[in-house]
């Protein structure tokens, strides 16, 4: 769990170790949060929370 998001860390044979790191950086750039909970033998839960952004209507009426 401590190594999740570490550059070039992967548990896959053909992985590059970039996917999770890039995803975490994008979530943080959007002022979001990512929380991991893991229970050995059961699995890992990932919760991603992003802030709600209100967009003005840009269509001409």
Does residue 59 sit within a domain?
no
For the whole model, what pTM was predicted?
Answer: 0.62
Residue 58 in domain: no
Query: What value does the CA radius of gyration of the chain take, rounded to a whole number of Å?
Result: 16
Q: Is there a domain that residue 57 lies in?
A: no
Q: Is residue 8 part of a domain?
A: yes
Report the domain count for the chain: 1
Q: Which domain holds residue 2?
A: 1-31
Beta carbons of 27 and 50 less than 8 angstroms apart: yes
18-53, pLDDT tens digit by residue?
Answer: 778 888 889 999 999 999 898 999 998 999 999 988
What average pLDDT does range 4-21 have in this prediction? 68
Query: What contacts 24, CB < 8 A, 6 or more positions away?
Result: 5, 34
Of the pLDDT bands very low, low, confident and very high (cuts 50, 70, 90), residue 4 is low
């Amino acid at each position: 769990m401590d190594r999740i998001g570490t550059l070039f860390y992967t548990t896959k044979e053909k992985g590059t170790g970039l996917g999770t790191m890039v995803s975490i950086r994008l979530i943080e750039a959007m002022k979001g949060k990512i929380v991991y909970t893991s229970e050995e033998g059961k699995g890992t839960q990932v919760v991603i929370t992003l802030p709600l952004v209100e967009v003005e209507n840009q269509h001409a009426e």
